[in-house]
């Protein structure tokens, strides 16, 4: 399925959700030095919030589309907690380490969503949208990590 088949509202909201990633990643390179520090902190905080949100998506899918008490329900509920359990500690780490942890979290979520078990209860249009959003988010992480490496 393509992005053209994605309902307009999720597509627009998904793109809007990229604005803080793009703006803060750009600011880590282009803003005055003092503001670059603020931009890095803002980037990491927003990434942690969105990664936690992706766990909430899985929680919602489990509650609405899985049968409570069955193995798929339990697995999805447990996996729904992983993103926030990665995101929060990432904020307590050195920014470079935290950025890597958050990037890994986005990859793990995307791999789960794309897996046979992960995609069974998701709408078809979700895959194309999430792939695009994840690629942009990971590119922004790459820019921030590159900046933190002292480039």
Query: What confidence tens digit (pLDDT) does each residue in 10-57 have?
Result: 999 999 999 999 999 999 999 999 999 999 999 999 999 999 999 999
pTM for this prediction: 0.92
Angle at 129 between CA 124 and CA 133, to 5 degrees: 150
- CB neighbours (10 Å) of residue 34? 8
**How many Cα neighbours within 13 Å face the side chain of 87?**
23
Cα-based distances in Å from 98 to 8, 88, 93, 105, 137:
33, 9, 5, 10, 15
Is residue 1 within 8 A of residue 125, CB to CB? The reply is yes
Q: Find where tokens 């969503």 sit.
A: 113
pLDDT for 66 beyond 80: no
């Amino acid at each position: 399925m393509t992005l053209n088949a994605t309902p307009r509202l999720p597509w627009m909201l998904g793109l809007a959700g990229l604005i803080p990633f793009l703006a803060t990643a750009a600011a880590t390179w282009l803003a005055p030095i003092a503001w670059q520090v603020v931009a890095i902190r803002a980037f990491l905080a927003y990434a942690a919030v969105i990664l936690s949100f992706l766990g909430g998506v899985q929680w919602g899918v489990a509650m609405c589309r899985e049968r409570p008490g069955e193995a798929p329900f339990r697995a999805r509920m447990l996996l729904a907690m992983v993103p926030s359990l990665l995101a929060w500690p990432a904020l307590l780490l050195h920014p470079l380490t935290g950025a890597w942890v958050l990037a890994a979290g986005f990859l793990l979520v995307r791999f789960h969503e794309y897996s046979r078990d992960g995609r069974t209860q998701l709408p078809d249009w979700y895959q194309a949208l999430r792939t695009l959003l994840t690629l942009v988010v990971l590119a922004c992480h790459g820019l921030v990590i590159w900046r933190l490496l002292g480039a």
